[in-house]
Structure 1
Amino acid sequence: MNQGSTPSVPKTGVFAGISTLDIAYLVDGYPAEDTKTQARDQFTGAGGPATNAAVAYAALGGAPTLVTAVGTHRLGDLIRNDLSAHGVRIVDVCAGSDHQPPVSSIVVAESAATRTIVSLDGARIAVEYDRHLADLLSGVDVVLVDGHYPGLAAGLCERARSLGIATVLDAGRFKDSHVALLPHIGSAICSAAFAPPGIAGGDTDAVLAYLRGAGVENIAITNGGKPIIGLTGNREFRIGIPETDAVDTLGAGDILHGAFAYFTSTGHDFVRALTSASEVASFSCRFFGTREWCTRLSELPGRGTSRPWV
């Protein structure tokens, strides 16, 4: 930095959704029923779509705030410590509750580069929107929600849209609560499993039409290693996914959403932000767990050329 120059101010994002405790094991192949298997590696850390997205946002240089439910249970300390170490500020809307955070048990099979997850969602945790949370939106560049706490997501996104802040929905599978949330969403990134009522899974044209009819301007549908298909304004597009030597796809979608939020907050248009985000997400699959990639960004292909996060 030249003498007398002003340090750049990090872009800020608010992320809202579920926080889990993830316990993942790396094995060569999936265990047979009723057997014991020696794992090759283990990862323990905070998980959940908005949570992992917030970590990705921080890893790329942003300053994220995560609005979530952790509580006073001793397992919550593991979540808080992990997120603090990765630059994520937590606003705990259940700070006085002693509920146990959801725990995800994950088996990652390296031979297949796939993962199997057993977990509870956040349905047992009561979370509502408090109007005072709107104070968090002052000066914020982007808001991302995963929809796990519908009232919280709708309240934050409605207020954000009224302030002209970009809103992003991480939509894995369709939930009834999406109906009330979608009018407050500017960009929706869905998985191929997203199937609203009356629409068959995989019918991308129908899903695009449904989301556009709900008022969403920018829409993308992801499908693992297959191209991202989407619609922005009247323009349809397709983005190829970079090839990579995948070890673990755990959290790749979450990382894509967090990277997209970051690139959106830095002023890139929908397609360019998605393209860059897909490169980051593919890169993350080279490493076991959802954190090691954060420390290896210098190895990202093209780093130091014209990449927008340089």
Structure 2
Amino acid sequence: MPCKGRIVCVGMCVLDVIHLVEQYPVEDTDKRCLAGYWQRGGNASNNCTVLRQLGAPDVEFMGMQSASPAFSFLYEDCRKREICIDNCPSTNMDPPFSSVILNQATGSRTIIHSNPGFPSLTFEHLAQLKLTNYGWVHLEGRNPESILPFIRDIRAHNKQLKDPRGRIRISVDLEKMKHEILELGEAADCVFLGKDLATFLGWNKPEEAVMGLYNRFKPQRGENNAKPAIVCPWGADGAACVDAHGNYAFVPSKPVQKIVDSLGAGDTFCAAVIYALHMLDKDLQEAVQFGHAIAGYKLAYRGYDDIESFSQGR
């Protein structure tokens, strides 16, 4: 595969403790699960896993690590999958974790997060990255005070390049229901808009969501006055998208016969779209179609390992 520059995903890495149950438990009862296990989680962390399973050769996770023994499993899992974590800062605090209930009867997943004030990345951490190593930077939409200066540094880096092929593309995942994270999207090349945030902002249909956000964004100075492309997954129906030139499309997803594990399906979709845009040079609609295919395939299997089989069968 030709060298495209490293993909780095910036955000959280957490421990997911998962219980598979026949039906969601009734409150104040004692119930045995069908299976119990743990895996590495967190949006950016999951993105890295999927990108590696798809065949991206050079992937990095950038986020706070923990020196706690509880983090050793997460650390070793990154190493096993050849996800670079060399630039991650560390703290002595215990890592965040999530308790997850997978309901076999409905295919739903219920997530309860625990984060006792785990420190976030600062701009100083991000500024240590050597930008010439990267071709794509994907960011969880959090901590605008740290992330926005980093995006500006990337924009300045791109502007001084003599060869535009070395340009770094920026994507941002906007999920948190906070108005202040929208400025991160305006500064990016590609925005993944969560359905919950879209409805929080008053948009109740997929076209309203992507076009509403697109019209809200101002053109990026120094970037040919372009606006970011926007992708908004809308549940099982599919995803709406608008490219940098304002061309709208709704890309339906294919029905899934049986849902085995829906945990991380959204992260899988996001990573697959990035892979299609960056590694396969697909246009936005084609990339969204690819994202649907990978996410739909993932739903039929537990975890992310079987995605490699889809990749090898392309």
Please give the TM-score of this superposition, normalised by the length of structure 1.
0.85
After superposition, the CA RMSD in angstroms is 2.4
Identity score, percent: 18
- Tell me the secondary structure at the aligned position of residue 292 of structure 1: coil
Aligned to 1:276: 290
After superposing the two structures, state which structure 1 stretch, 122-131 or 257-266, moved more: 122-131
Residue correspondence of structure 1 range 224-239 to structure 2 within 5 A: 224-232=235-243, 233-239=245-251
Please tell me whether residue 16 in structure 1 is matched to residue 29 in structure 2.
no
- Tell me the secondary structure at the aligned position of residue 46 of structure 1: strand
1:18 CA displacement: 1.0
| Structure 2 Cα separation of the partners of residues 197 and 279 of structure 1 | 28
Give CA-to-partner distance per residue, 1:130-169, whole Å, 9 cap, x none.
Answer: 2763533214221111123434432333333332311111
Say whether the 8 Å CA contact 1:107–1:117 is kept in structure 2: yes
- CA separation of 1:122/1:223 partners in 2, compared to 1, >3 Å: closer, same or farther? farther
Please tell me whether residue 67 in structure 1 is matched to residue 62 in structure 2.
yes
Aligned to 1:86: 81
- Tell me the secondary structure at the aligned position of residue 45 of structure 1: strand
Give CA-to-partner distance per residue, 1:113-133, whole Å, 9 cap, x none.
Answer: 110000035854242112763
Say whether the 8 Å CA contact 1:14–1:137 is kept in structure 2: no
Say whether the 8 Å CA contact 2:54–2:308 is kept in structure 1: no
Say whether the 8 Å CA contact 1:69–1:127 is kept in structure 2: yes
Aligned to 1:181: 184
- Tell me the secondary structure at the aligned position of residue 250 of structure 1: coil
Moved over 6 A (4+): none
Please tell me whether residue 253 in structure 1 is matched to residue 259 in structure 2.
no
Q: Which residue of 281, 288, 292 corresponds with 2:305?
A: 292
- CA separation of 1:122/1:169 partners in 2, compared to 1, >3 Å: closer, same or farther? farther
Residue correspondence of structure 1 range 195-206 to structure 2 within 5 A: 195=198, 199-202=202-205, 204-205=207-208
Say whether the 8 Å CA contact 1:161–1:167 is kept in structure 2: no
Say whether the 8 Å CA contact 1:134–1:156 is kept in structure 2: no
Aligned to 1:241: 253
Q: Which structure has more helix as a fraction of its residues?
A: 2
Q: How many residues align?
A: 293
Please tell me whether residue 265 in structure 1 is matched to residue 278 in structure 2.
yes
1:79 CA displacement: 1.1
- Structure 1 portions without partners, runs of 5+: 1-6, 305-310
After superposing the two structures, state which structure 1 stretch, 185-194 or 148-157, moved more: 148-157
Q: Which letter does structure 1 place at the counterpart of 2:181?
A: H
Residue correspondence of structure 1 range 110-189 to structure 2 within 5 A: 110-120=104-114, 124-130=118-124, 133=127, 135-162=129-156, 163=158, 164-189=167-192
After superposing the two structures, state which structure 1 stretch, 189-198 or 47-56, moved more: 189-198
Q: Which residue of 206, 210, 216 corresponds with 1:213?
A: 216
Q: Which letter does structure 2 place at the counterpart of 1:208?
A: M
Aligned to 2:196: 193
- CA separation of 1:283/1:143 partners in 2, compared to 1, >3 Å: closer, same or farther? same
Please tell me whether residue 222 in structure 1 is matched to residue 222 in structure 2.
no
| Structure 2 Cα separation of the partners of residues 194 and 132 of structure 1 | 26
Please give the TM-score of this superposition, normalised by the length of structure 2.
0.84
Say whether the 8 Å CA contact 1:55–1:87 is kept in structure 2: no
Q: Which letter does structure 2 place at the counterpart of 1:105?
A: S
1:83 CA displacement: 1.7
